[in-house]
Every structure is written in structure tokens, then in C-alpha cells.
């Protein structure tokens, strides 16, 4: 329980710190370009027109809504993070208690580091993440809709409770799950790509006799995670656009 509370607090802190970045990312994803391109140079030194960067976008938001404007949609996102952490923790605990079916068909306990062990652990994580995503997706939808109101200066989605009532009244239960399928598919694909690639690198590219083996394996996990996120980004984009499409 203490570990779960620590994860919730840490997650909440990271959510608050990263929220302005997500806010700007979502506005860019829906195609909001309030600032004119400026002349700059690309990596080859050639002069080109460039869209405003992160800090220019943040200054534009603060100019209109102040510093607090960078944190629109934070409350439902914190709700999603807290509930998601609790659900993920409970599902992982249940999977460990009941045991995961041996995906590769062996009845013996998988050796740590083997392919079977990676598949079994990834299956547990996939179940836990999927459950957390389904449960918290309504808050994710509300978060996105609160953010995109900046474009048209609407105030339709103002608070968590009011937003829940608004979505239910206009779209019913299905409105809370707009964009869920591409988000789930992207999460699952990213998880499997990351873990299987990391296993291949750790098994065939990193020798146990090498110095700093542990650090190299952790680094490979981070690199494959970044690569998997890049590959599955289209699913994130489609999910976010579906969540805010025709929401008024």
C-alpha cells in the first residue's frame, strides 16, 4: 500500500510538471497554429520558414490566459493518473497471485531473462495497462476537451463533474470512450515492441561479461521504449482527434 501511495504521489508530481508540454502538444495535434512562421535555418544551414517552437507557444498561451492557462485540464488528468495507478497496481497484484497462463505452452516456471519469461511478464503488464486505460479513458477525454477549448475560447467543459454531466447528456456513455480503441491498440503495440526488442538486444547484442551490463540493459530498455513510442505515435494522434471530434 505504501508503494502504491508513493507511486500516486510521484505520478501526480510528474503530471503537474509535464502538463504544459502535453497541453501544447495537443493544440499542435489538432492543427492550431496561432503564430506565423518565422525565418530560420534547418540542419543543413538552409534558410526556411519554421513554425513557432515550444517556448514561443507557451508564451502565447500565457499572454492570453496567464500562467494558470498552461494548466487547463489538469484536474481530470490528475484523476486519471491516480485511478490508473491504483487499478494498475491491483491488476498486477491479482495476476501475480493467480499466475499468468504460460503463453508459449511450457508448464515449467520460466527462467528469468528467457523469452518465455519476457512474454509472460509482458502479458501481465498488458492486462494491467489495458484495464487502467479503459477505466481512466473518460477522464482522458475530458482532459483533451478542456484543452482544445483554448482555440475557440469556449467554456463548455469547465470542471470534472460538470464535464461528466455534459458528455453524458450530449453523447451518452459512448461519449466517454471516444478514441479508446486506437489508444488501446497503440499502448499494447508499444509495450510488446519495447519489451521484445529490449530482450533481443539484451540477449544477442550485450554480453554478460561486459562491464556495466546492468546499465547497458537499462539503457536498451529506454531506447526501445522511445523507438516504440515513435512507431505507435499515429495511434495516439488518431485517438486524440477522435476524442475531441464533434464535441462542440
Q: What is the mean pLDDT of residues 138-160?
A: 91
pLDDT at 54 over 90: no
3-state SS, one letter per residue, for the chain = CHHHHHHHHHHHHHHHHHHHHHHHHHHHHCCCCCCCCEEEECCCCCEEEECCCHHHHHHHHHHHHCHHHHHCCHHHHHHHHHHHHHHHHHHHHHHHHHCCCCCCCCCCCCCCCCHHHHHHHHHHHHHHHHHHHHHHHHHHHHHHHHHHHHHHCCCCCCCHHHHHHHHHHHHCHHHHHCCHHHHHHHHHHHHHHHHHHHHHHHHHCCCCCCCCHHHHHHHHHHHHHHHHHHHCHHHHHHHHHHHHCCCC
Q: How far is CA 181 from CA 152, 170, 186, 200, in A?
A: 27, 21, 8, 29
The pLDDT assigned to 109 comes to 60
- pLDDT, residue 113, reads 67
Torsion angle defined by CA atoms of residues 232, 43, 26 and 140, in that order, rounded to the nearest 10 degrees: 40
Amino acid 186: pLDDT: 96
Mean pLDDT of all residues belonging to the chain? 87
Phi-psi region of 246 (alpha: psi -120 to 50; beta: other; left: phi over 0): left
The whole-number pLDDT of residue 45 equals: 80
9: Cβ contacts below 8 Å, ≥ 6 apart: none
pLDDT band for 105, please (50, 70, 90 cuts).
low
Q: Please report which confidence band the pLDDT of residue 76 belongs to, taking 50, 70 and 90 as the band edges.
A: very high
Looking at per-residue pLDDT, the higher value among 149 and 3 belongs to 149
pLDDT at 112 over 80: no
The predicted structure's pLDDT at residue 78: 95
**Residues pairing with 40 in the sheet:** 48
The whole-number pLDDT of residue 102 equals 54
Cβ proximity of 116 and 141 under 8 Å: no
* Separation between Cα atoms, residue 216 and residue 206, nearest integer Å: 8
Amino acid at each position: 500500500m505504501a508503494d502504491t501511495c508513493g507511486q500516486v504521489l510521484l505520478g501526480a508530481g510528474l503530471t503537474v510538471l509535464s502538463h504544459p508540454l502535453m497541453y501544447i502538444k495537443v493544440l499542435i495535434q489538432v492543427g492550431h497554429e496561432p503564430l506565423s512562421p518565422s525565418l530560420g535555418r534547418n540542419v543543413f544551414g538552409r534558410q526556411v520558414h519554421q513554425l513557432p517552437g515550444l517556448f514561443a507557444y507557451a508564451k502565447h498561451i500565457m499572454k492570453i490566459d496567464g500562467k494558470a492557462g498552461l494548466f487547463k485540464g489538469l484536474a481530470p488528468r490528475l484523476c486519471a493518473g491516480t485511478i490508473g495507478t491504483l487499478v494498475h497496481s491491483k491488476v498486477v497484484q491479482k495476476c501475480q497471485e493467480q499466475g499468468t497462463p504460460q503463453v508459449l505452452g511450457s508448464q515449467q516456471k520460466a527462467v528469468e531473462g528467457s523469452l518465455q519469461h519476457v512474454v509472460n511478464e509482458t502479458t501481465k503488464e498488458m492486462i494491467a495497462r489495458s484495464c487502467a486505460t479503459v477505466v481512466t479513458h473518460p477522464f482522458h477525454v475530458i482532459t483533451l476537451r478542456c484543452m482544445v477549448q483554448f482555440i475557440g475560447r469556449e467554456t463548455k467543459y469547465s470542471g470534472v463533474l460538470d464535464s461528466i454531466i455534459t458528455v453524458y447528456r450530449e453523447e451518452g456513455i459512448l461519449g466517454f470512450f471516444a478514441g479508446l480503441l486506437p489508444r488501446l491498440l497503440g499502448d499494447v503495440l508499444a509495450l510488446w515492441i519495447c519489451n521484445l526488442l529490449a530482450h533481443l538486444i539484451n540477449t544477442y547484442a550485450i554480453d554478460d561479461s561486459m562491464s556495466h551490463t546492468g546499465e547497458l540493459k537499462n539503457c536498451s530498455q529506454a531506447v526501445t521504449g522511445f523507438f516504440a513510442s515513435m512507431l505507435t505515435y499515429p495511434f495516439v494522434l488518431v485517438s486524440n482527434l477522435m476524442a475531441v471530434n464533434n464535441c462542440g
